[in-house]
Amino acid sequence: MHSNKPKADLLRDLHADGVLVLPNAWDAGSAALIARAGAKAVATTSGGVSWALGRPDGQNLSRDEMVEQVRLIAAAVDVPVTADVEGGYGHAPEDVAATVEAVIGAGAVGVNIEDSKGFGVPLFTAEEQAARLRAAREAAERAGLPELVVNIRTDVFLFQVGEPEGRLDDVLARAAVYAEAGADVLFVPGLVDLDVLKALVAASPLPVNVMAGPGAPTVAEFEAVGVRRVSLGTAVTQAAYSVAHRAAEEALTKGTYTELDGALDFGAVNGVFTR
In terms of DSSP H, where are the helices of 167-254? 167-181, 194-203, 219-224, 235-253
pLDDT given for residue 248 in this prediction = 98
The answer to whether 254 touches 247, Cβ cutoff 8 Å, is no
Q: Which domains does the chain have, with CATH numbers?
A: 5-234 (3.20.20.60)
Per-residue pLDDT tens over the stretch 109-137: 999 999 999 877 789 999 999 999 999 99
pLDDT given for residue 194 in this prediction = 98
The answer to whether 207 touches 186, Cβ cutoff 8 Å, is yes
- Asked whether residue 150 carries a pLDDT value surpassing 80, the answer given is yes
Per-residue pLDDT tens over the stretch 202-226: 999 999 999 999 999 999 999 999 9
Angle at CA of residue 221, ends 182 and 24, nearest 5°: 55
The answer to whether 65 touches 52, Cβ cutoff 8 Å, is no
Cα pseudo-dihedral 116, 69, 55, 100, rounded to 10: -20
- Quote the distance between the C-alpha of residue 73 and its chain's center: 13
Mean pLDDT of the residues in the chain: 97
Q: Which residues is 110 bridged to in the sheet? A: 82, 149
The DSSP H or E segment spanning 166 is: none
Closest CA to 106 of 133, 73, 59: 73
Per-residue pLDDT tens over the stretch 62-87: 999 999 999 999 999 999 999 999 99
pLDDT given for residue 274 in this prediction = 76
Longest dimension (CA), the chain: 59
Q: What is the pTM of this model?
A: 0.95
pLDDT given for residue 254 in this prediction = 98
pLDDT given for residue 121 in this prediction = 75
Q: Which residues contact 139 (CB under 8 A, 6 or more apart)?
A: 96, 97, 98, 100, 101, 104
pLDDT given for residue 275 in this prediction = 66
State how far the Cα of 98 lies from the Cα of 140, in Å rounded to an integer.
10
Determine if residue 61 is left, alpha or beta; phi over 0 gives left, psi from -120 to 50 gives alpha, anything else beta: beta
